[in-house]
Structure 1
Amino acid sequence: MDFAYAGGVLATGPAETTSDPAALEGGGWWAVAVTFEGKVTCVRFTDVRRAPHPEGPWSAPGAWTSSLDRAAYTAGVRRIRDEIADGVVYQANLCRVLSAPLPAGAGMAGLGSRLARGNPAPYAMTLSVPGLEIASASPELYLARDGDVVESRPIKGTARTAAGLLPKDRAENVMIVDLVRNDLGRTAATGSVTVPELCAVEEHPGLVHMVSTVRARLAPGTGWPELIAATFPPGSVTGTPKASALALLAELEPVPRGPYCGAIGWVDADARRGALAVGIRTFWAEDGMLRLGTGAGITWGSDPAGEWRETELKAARLLEVASGDGAGQGLDQR
């Protein structure tokens, strides 16, 4: 079955697919996915209703491998710290992609329903259409829109408990909030950008996050195409300055991120509402493989071993849910 599921809403009956975000200013209910590299997919569905998450077959994937092993990842952290010392960047988000063979017959409906039960998330979404199979348990809001009001809730700072958050986490969060303010300001009415909440601590399954809220009112004549163009990729998964961080990450990360760290969500063009998550805590199927990204924000105060452990923490519970066998433990051996 081709479907999208988000926020208790099940959408079926795909009627139109486009790569043009201008369609989101027309009519209808759309599922939206944008890869980190900028490939846009918008799918309009005709049957949209409140329903439980669809069920489907699922079985544990094969052995996981990582695009960066521990040595390569910690070397990348040290390289970013060198670039910070040289004034090239202030912060950069270094990521790796985990891959495992996808069992025959396993589908995103089965994985998405497991995630909904085992790792509930405020911006979770499952999308299954030809050429695009995603099951996301994202806790992070990239862009929400209600009429002309837009909001972003960047996450920076992750630990097992609130007591484990460090001064480095707050400094990193404040830096990214400043970046998001500037990004939103490109499409906002003058003087409308505010920060209603700074560095709040939120509890999520297995960990806590430090989260801020940035809000603005759109300038006349702007909408989803302008918003995405001005703010993508999300600041929390790139770095600051954004252009310099992206150039550095292109050197350090050996494989594309794909849907991971992109945007995943829905737009109700008739109601002028929508919510796009940052594509973290996100599985996707590609070329017979199941993939999952994980990463950490690197600052001058980063410890390479500690940042590797943060990537482990973020991935562990998701791999356990997907495999049902404790696969999230001891990832450094994989």
Structure 2
Amino acid sequence: MHDSFAHVGGRLATRLRDITTDLAALDGEGWWAVVVDYEGKVTCARFDDVRPAPLPVPRGPWRGPHPSSWRSSLDRAAYEDGVRRIRAYIERGEVYQANLCRVLTAPLPGDPDLPALAVRLAEGNPAPHAATVSLPGLGVVSASPELYLARDGDAIESRPIKGTGVTAEDLLEKDYAENVMIVDLVRNDLGRVATVGSVSVPALCEVEEHPGLVHLVSTVRARLAPEFGWPDLFSATFPPGSVTGAPKSSALSIINELEPGPRGPYCGTVGWVDADRHRASLAVGIRTFWLSSGDIHFGTGAGITWGSDPEREWRETELKASRLIALASTSGSAGSGGVV
């Protein structure tokens, strides 16, 4: 096994000093790798040596599961039924939109080598917020395209993604409406801890290209009020709005009812915080693998609105997963179509 390390934002962090579950530590000193589960489990790891550097050299090529060994927490029938149930909640006025997700799991052969998987993802699915975190009891490799929170002094920014298609021509009116709904939610979340009048939306529904698909992305900016720190910022904004729904409280309740198990690092956040310089970049934990008890996990989901078609939403979860599942499997040519 490699020693504990984090590779994120082009920096390699080594010489682990300490680990804490207290977000207030991020208002102190040092450089921290941060992983927060969707359910709120916090891991903040402080490293003493942080420098621009590539990933640690893998021990050898990545050995992943067989493509046919992946299993989904919700099969197609259950997922499509979940979409219909969310539409019923929308019809009753209980929610406008809710994200429905499923977790894919497969057994891993042998002793997994996180740098080998990270290199494979970097080559086959480069991502603007790629991150690898290897700590005792925690291994995460993320190819996230989505910014949850960036910070530079008191300036904070979020770039929620809502709306996915193979090409821009595939995007529907529903996708644009979904994005605007989540932008309103993120504006309100940030407004709880922002200086009055500082929240703005400099970019709305921009089409952004990623390997194998396109997303609609918006930008929300604000200035953090001086009386607030990292615990307040997380309390106001977590879990990210783009992976929950609107209103967030109703969406969280529906997600808890319909999804059979925890999401873990998926839909949480992974990234870094430089407490000394008051800078940070935290991604939404999507397109993210994590390891536990000899298994590898990967989450995929879709935002459900009144305009959602159950079959199309299932296909969207397949589209988001197929490229990454293929890269993490023993055969680079297999998609997720056979996942049950």
How far is the alpha carbon of 1:54 from its aligned partner?
Answer: 1.7
Alpha-carbon distance between aligned partners in 1 of 2:131 and 2:324, rounded to the nearest angstrom: 14
Residues 115 and 137, structure 1, Cα contact 8 Å, conserved in 2: yes
Seen in structure 2, the aligned counterparts of structure 1 residues 328 and 262 have a Cα distance that, compared at 3 Å, is: farther
| Residue of 114, 117, 127 corresponding to 2:120 | 114
Task: Verify: 1:280 aligned to 2:283, yes or no.
Answer: no
Aligned with residue 27 of structure 1, among 26, 29, 34: 29
Is the Cα contact below 8 Å between 1:4 and 1:127 reproduced in 2?
yes
Separation in 2, partners of 1:328, 1:230 = 40
Aligned mate of 2:103, from 89, 94, 97: 97
Once residues 238 and 9 of structure 2 are traced to their aligned partners in structure 1, the CA distance between those partners, rounded to angstroms, is 23
Greater alpha carbon shift after TM alignment, 188-197 vs 103-112: 103-112
Pair 1:167 & 2:169 matched: no
Q: Does structure 1 residue 59 correspond to structure 2 residue 63?
A: yes
* 2:325–2:336 contact (8 Å) kept in structure 1: no
Moved over 4 A (4+): none
- How has the CA–CA distance of structure 1 residues 239 and 180 changed in structure 2, closer, same or farther, with 3 Å as cutoff? same
Map Cα deviations across residues 14-47 of structure 1 (whole Å, 9 max, x no partner): 1111000110011110000100000011000001
CA RMSD of aligned residues (A): 1.0
Normalised to the residue count of structure 2, the TM-score between the two structures is: 0.96
In structure 1, what is the equivalent of residue 11 of structure 2?
9
> How big is each residue's C-alpha offset from its partner over 1:139-183, in whole Å with a ceiling of 9 and x where there is no partner?
000000000000000000000000100000000000000000000
User: In 1, Cα distance between the equivalents of 2:308 and 2:314?
Assistant: 10
- Greater CA deviation, 138-147 or 316-325? 316-325
Q: Unaligned stretches of 5+ in structure 2?
A: none
Give the whole-Å Cα distance in 1 for the aligned partners of 2:220 and 2:259: 29
**Equivalenced residues, count:** 334
Distance (whole Å) between structure 1 residues aligned to residue 118 and residue 336 of structure 2: 24
* Aligned residues of 2:17 and 2:45 also touching (Cα < 8 A): yes
Given the superposition, is the C-alpha separation of residues 314 and 231 from structure 1 closer, same or farther in structure 2, using an over 3 Å criterion? Answer: same
CA distance in 2, matches of 1:97, 1:44: 29
| Secondary structure of 1:127 counterpart | strand
| Within-5 A mapping of 1:80-95 | 80-95=86-101
Which residues in structure 2 correspond to 1:125-274 (within 5 Å)? 125-274=131-280
Structure 1 residue corresponding to 2:314, chosen from 302, 308, 312: 308
1:331 CA drift (Å): 1.9
Is contact 2:5–2:13 with CA below 8 Å preserved after alignment? yes
Partners of 2:159 and 2:123 in 1: how far apart? Answer: 24
Query: Could you give the per-residue CA deviations for residues 272-323 of structure 1, whole angstroms, max 9, x where no partner exists?
Result: 0001100000000011100000000000000000000000000011011112
TM-score, length of structure 1 as denominator length: 0.98
1:116 deviates by 1.2
1:71 paired with 2:77, answer yes
On the 8 A contact 1:161/1:207 being kept in 2, the answer is yes
Q: What CA distance in whole angstroms lies between the structure 2 residues aligned with 1:173 and 1:257?
A: 22
Identity fraction in percent: 67
Tell which deviates more after alignment, 156-165 or 99-108.
99-108
